[in-house]
Structure 1
Amino acid sequence: MTLRYDFVGVGGLAYDLVLRVESLPIADEKYMARLIGKFPGGFIANATCAAAHLGLRTGYAGWVGADTEGDMLHNDFVQRGVDPAGLVHVAGHSTPFTVVLSEPGGQRAILIPHSPLFELPLTNPQLALVEQARAVLTFPRDLEWFSKLRRYTLQGGGIIALDIENTVPMQGHALRQAIRLSEIVFLKHSSLPEIGIYALPDLVSPGQWLTLSSGSSGVYGIAHGMLSPVFQPVLPVDAVDTTGAGDCFHAALITARLEGATLVEGLRFATAAAALKVQHRGPRTGLPTRAEVEAMLA
């Protein structure tokens, strides 16, 4: 069966209110901030757009409110070549948003207000979209939701990639089970105290890639059968804004995996994509094309 999509993102959609601050806040202080703008965002949605810029056939499934912000997110998908066939506009609800605090050096903090749209079940049309994908990127919302998503992904012959943000609700045994059931897993550096670099081999299943970001220094990666992780340092560039860089990295690594690259090759390709992204402000501004990534690596 020929699958319609190379890459489908599920969930993780919001618009970003980006504020410029001279330094990130500490407790009990008051700060002046400058509004940079309102941008389409959301970590899974950003990665889906990045995959489209890299030349993949992309689709998206998720939820927005029946409001102008929801229309903005829909239209941005269309403009970037992402098929929004699985995007549901929910009447009576506002579109989810995040507040991004960005400082001149490129570091940022992100605030995520809760939305009831984060808890909706997947619809049959959304699951049909997933079944047509070579790769599906999502996050561990809860084990029942994830397991259903994985089942439909596998029915179509695809692989599933899991982005484990620091704010994900799934924890403990359920999270470990979701990790083992995913072909690609993206972990954050803040998981280091709980997991540990050299505990990673115990988490890796056959056919799986697992990465662990160490922030601004680089990323560790490990595949099944490796005795210890490999480390890919960041490429030296003048960072303007790191918002969306990790999402771009994830899309690029999935792209490399789909094209038969090794983990080491994929980490290098994805790191170059992220290095291009951080030179632009906003979560989707400056998403690189394949030609731009290849030129940086040449």
Structure 2
Amino acid sequence: MDRPRVVIVGSANMDLVAMAPTLPRPGETVLGTEFLTVAGGKGANQAIAAARAGGAATFLAAIGSDSFGVTLKARIAASGVDTSLIRVVYGASGVALVTVGASGEHSVVVTPGANAALTALTEAELSAVRDADVLVAQVEVPVETVTQAALAARAAGTRVVLNAAPPRELPAELLAAVDLLVVNEVEARALTGRGREEPEALLALVPRAVLTLGDQGAWYGERNGGVTHIPAFKVDVVDSTGAGDAFTAALAVAWAEGRELVDALRWASAAGAACARRLGASISLPQRSEIDALFQAGT
């Protein structure tokens, strides 16, 4: 079977990751235990995760002309992602400052840098979207760009998976082009004003929605089709950073391969759990064989 074509439109950041016994409170300094620099940003994470999960992944993004940009592109390409359409713009690349506590909780501060320059998609970029089986997008880049990509995908029959993160209001024309929405509880509340008690509220906006709840699994709903709970896979969590990106990307790949969505969601849940077993975002994203092994062990 040919690898499904997945185009990811989103952010690319250099993640500066510090491990510490506890997360610092305001005004507090804590001594860390480990430090890593890894390719990150929700877009880059999902592009790498899609490639590792078995997709033919193409990444549409903007990086800076600084040393972080050079490293970012090289590391993303080394993960099997087509980086030929990544833009290089003068100035700083996006950077994320990530602090991870001993139990896997984390805090993140992002400075967008070059990500803000991903505007007005070119014909080559739009052509990649139209030729894909699935478009995956987030909203760490200008929402106008995401909307442009989603509308082009919808017109061409390309499925649109939107991970509406970070939380923000979204234009109606973007939501109207979405085939599957993936959000956590905070993001769901930003869209609907409601939390986990009413995942059905998302279905007033989109035909299919996934509400993720970390170690409590996820809810999947279809408009007029009811809601299904997807249990989480039990693992020893080291760092939850990137687990949601692994989940979203694996879901897109599995759906593009023709799996029923509930089965695709269970496989995606295994991908998210596998990611959480290691430190770092993109470096912890699992290979397909690892996802399969955890999925089969838990079914």
Normalising by structure 2, report the TM-score: 0.88
Matches of 1:22 and 1:150 in 2, distance apart? 41
SS across alignment from 2:215: coil
Q: What's the counterpart of residue 186 of structure 1?
A: 182
Contact 1:210 / 1:223 at 8 angstroms: preserved in 2? Answer: yes
| CA-to-aligned-CA distance 1:41-62 (integer Å, 9 cap, x gap) | 1112111111111111110111
Residue 237 of structure 1: CA displacement?
0.9
Q: How far apart are residue 199 of structure 1 and its match? A: 4.2
User: In structure 2, how many angstroms separate the alpha carbons of the residues matched to 1:110 and 1:167?
Assistant: 14
The residue aligned with 1:95 is 93
List per-residue Cα deviations over 1:98-136 (Å, max 9, x = no partner).
Answer: 001001111111111242532441233222222221111
1:244 aligned residue: 242
Distance in 2 (alpha carbons) for counterparts of 1:167 and 1:225: 26
The answer on whether the counterparts of 2:93 and 2:112 sit within 8 Å (CA) in structure 1 is no
SS in 2 for 1:40: strand
Residue in 1 aligned with 2:146? 146
Mapped to 2, the partners of 1:179 and 1:152 lie a distance apart of: 13
Matched, 1:261 2:259: yes
Within 1, Cα distance between the matches of 2:67 and 2:150? 32
- State the match for 1:211 in structure 2: 210
Structure 2 counterpart of 1:37:
36
C-alpha RMSD of the superposition: 2.4
Partner of residue 194, structure 2: 195
Residues 11 and 61, structure 2, Cα contact 8 Å, conserved in 1:
yes
Unaligned ranges ≥5, structure 1: none
Q: Deviations over 1:56-75 (max 9, x none)?
A: 11101110011221111111
User: 2: CA distance between counterparts of 1:292 and 1:75?
Assistant: 24
Off by >4 Å, runs of 4+ in structure 1: none
Q: Evaluate the alpha carbon distance shift between residue 40 and residue 157 of structure 1 in structure 2; reply closer, same or farther with a 3 A threshold.
A: same
Q: Return the alpha-carbon distance in structure 1 between the equivalents of residues 229 and 171 of structure 2.
A: 24
Cα offset, 1:202, TM superposition: 4.5
Q: Distance in 1 between matches of 2:57 and 2:68?
A: 21
Q: Which residue of 1 aligns with 2:288?
A: 290
1:149/1:116 Cα in 2 relative to 1: closer, same or farther (>3 Å)? same
Task: Please list the CA deviations of residues 70-109 of structure 1 after superposition, one character each: whole Å capped at 9, or x if unmatched.
Answer: 1111111221111012201112x11111001001111111
Partners of 1:184 and 1:243 in 2: CA distance: 22
**Structure 1 letter corresponding to 2:179:** E
2:54 aligns with 55
The 5-angstrom pairing of residues 88-127 of structure 1 reads: 88-91=87-90, 93-115=91-113, 117-121=115-119, 122-127=121-126
Secondary structure of the residue that 1:64 maps to in structure 2? strand
- After TM superposition, the structure 1 stretch with the greater mean CA deviation from structure 2, 174-183 or 236-245, is 174-183
- Which structure 2 segments of 5+ residues have no match? none
Measure how far apart 1:34 and its partner are: 4.5
Q: Is the 8 A contact 2:93 2:114 kept in 1?
A: no
Tell me if the contact between 2:4 and 2:257 (Cα under 8 Å) persists in the aligned partners.
no
CA gap of 1:180–1:20, structure 2 versus 1, over 3 A, is: same
CA contact (8 A) 2:178 2:206 kept: no
Partner amino acid for 2:180? Answer: I
TM-score of the pair, normalised by structure 1: 0.88
* Aligned residue identity for 1:127: L
Which letter does structure 2 place at the counterpart of 1:21?
Answer: A
Q: 8 Å contact 2:8–2:43 — kept in the other structure?
A: yes
